[in-house]
């Protein structure tokens, strides 16, 4: 039997999603809790690996097991063994050809950024920070140059293992709510650090350090050294993947009303 799970977690206390020898990752915590509930080791495959400090609203994983339990039992039973900052939201049985990563039609991220003369305190680890005022129209004009199918090598981490740097960025939305900016990115897939590298460039434009046209030049140049530094992971949220309706899986909420 193949099962799919939807997970939410805060990432600031973990070394990313993917299992590591030190055991301080979200995958290690989830698989440890599953093993305690199921009394057998279970290996998971996720929709999108998140980095150290990155949060998730609906990370989707799948795993195979012969253990027969009701979906609500997997949720409640596994959550019993998870720390407070990780929780399974739902469980669904899926056909054997479902794959959390390969079946995804696209993925969405959000970034929450505080614009303030002083650094965040209550939002530490949950929001990025700009001490300089940002111009929304300039950032939106720059973002429009990024939408479409492009070679995103200029926004790719050196350690990225993706087979191709060509991705389709379907949507970038930028809005301000009080002292906070919220950026949303949707693509067929993302390169390692791609969202944080895009954000660094958008903030540079918004702060007036670079003109709008510069971001198009960086994109066309395909040289990571020409782009802005990688932005902090603190405010980055993996909203989650989305799938064909035939899999009958819940989607993460598009409106993150609990966030600024």
Contact 256, 57 (CB under 8 A): yes
Q: Which of 85, 103, 121 is the last residue of a domain?
A: 103
Contact 29, 5 (CB under 8 A): no
CATH number where 229 lies: 3.30.70.660
Q: Taking the alpha carbons of 8, 9, 15, 21 in that order, is the dihedral positive or negative?
A: negative
Q: Are residues 76 and 170 in the same domain?
A: no
Residue-number span of the structural domain to which 79 is assigned: 2-103
Within-domain flag for 252: no
Q: Are residues 27 and 48 in the same domain?
A: yes
CB count, 10 Å around CB of 161?
8
Task: State residue 30's pLDDT score.
Answer: 98
Contact 167, 151 (CB under 8 A): no
Instruction: Establish whether 22 is a catalytic residue.
Output: no
CATH number where 44 lies: 3.30.70.580
Helix (H) or strand (E) holding 94: strand 86-94
List 22, 28, 51, 64, catalytic entry: 51
Task: State residue 22's pLDDT score.
Answer: 85
Q: What is the pTM of this model?
A: 0.94
Asked whether the predicted pLDDT for residue 168 surpasses 90, the reply is: yes
Q: Are residues 90 and 199 in the same domain?
A: no
Task: State residue 259's pLDDT score.
Answer: 61
Which whole number is the average pLDDT over 70-74? 95
Q: Are residues 231 and 110 in the same domain?
A: yes
Within-domain flag for 126: yes
Within-domain flag for 254: no
Task: State residue 201's pLDDT score.
Answer: 98
Within-domain flag for 30: yes
Q: Are residues 10 and 79 in the same domain?
A: yes
Q: Are residues 61 and 162 in the same domain?
A: no
Q: What percentage of the chain has pLDDT greater than the value 90? A: 91
Task: Work out the pLDDT band at 20, boundaries 50, 70, 90.
Answer: confident
Task: State residue 253's pLDDT score.
Answer: 61
Within-domain flag for 244: no
Q: Are residues 126 and 178 in the same domain?
A: yes
pLDDT tens track for 46-62: 999 999 999 999 999 99
How far apart are the two ends of the chain, measured CA to CA in Å? 40
Q: Are residues 90 and 54 in the same domain?
A: yes
Total domain count, the chain: 2
Within-domain flag for 111: yes
Q: Which of 87, 103, 119 is the last residue of a domain?
A: 103
Q: Are residues 76 and 184 in the same domain?
A: no
Asked whether the predicted pLDDT for residue 256 surpasses 80, the reply is: no
Q: Are residues 114 and 218 in the same domain?
A: yes
Within-domain flag for 95: yes
Within-domain flag for 258: no
Asked whether the predicted pLDDT for residue 237 surpasses 80, the reply is: yes
**CA–CA dist 127, 66 (Å, integer):** 41
Asked whether the predicted pLDDT for residue 96 surpasses 90, the reply is: yes
Q: Are residues 119 and 81 in the same domain?
A: no
Task: State residue 159's pLDDT score.
Answer: 87
Q: Which of 72, 103, 134 is the last residue of a domain?
A: 103
Q: Are residues 110 and 88 in the same domain?
A: no
Helix (H) or strand (E) holding 141: helix 136-144
Task: State residue 200's pLDDT score.
Answer: 97
């Amino acid at each position: 039997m193949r099962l799919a799970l939807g997970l939410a977690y805060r990432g600031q206390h973990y070394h990313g999603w993917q299992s590591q020898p030190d055991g301080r990752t979200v995958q290690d915590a989830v698989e440890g809790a599953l093993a305690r509930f199921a009394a057998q080791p279970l290996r998971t495959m996720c929709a999108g690996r998140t980095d150290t400090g990155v949060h998730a609203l609906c990370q989707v994983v799948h795993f195979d097991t012969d253990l027969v339990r009701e979906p609500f039992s997997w949720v409640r039973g596994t959550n019993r063994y998870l720390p407070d900052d990780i929780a399974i939201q739902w469980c669904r049985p899926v056909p054997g050809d479902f794959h959390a990563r390969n079946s995804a039609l696209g993925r969405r991220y959000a970034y929450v950024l505080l614009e303030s003369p002083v650094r965040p305190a209550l939002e530490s680890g949950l929001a990025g920070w700009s001490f300089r005022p940002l111009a929304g129209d300039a950032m939106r004009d720059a973002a429009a140059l990024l939408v479409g199918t492009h070679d995103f090598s200029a926004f790719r981490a050196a350690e990225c293992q993706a087979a191709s740097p060509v991705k389709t960025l379907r949507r970038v939305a930028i809005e301000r709510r009080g002292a906070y900016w919220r950026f949303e990115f949707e693509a067929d897939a993302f390169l390692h650090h791609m969202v944080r590298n895009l954000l660094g460039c958008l903030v540079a434009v918004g702060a007036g350090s670079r003109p709008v046209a510069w971001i198009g030049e960086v994109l066309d140049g395909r040289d990571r050294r020409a782009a802005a530094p990688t932005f902090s992971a603190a405010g980055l949220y993996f909203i989650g993947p989305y799938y064909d309706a035939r899999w009958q899986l819940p989607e993460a909420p598009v409106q993150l009303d609990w966030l600024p």
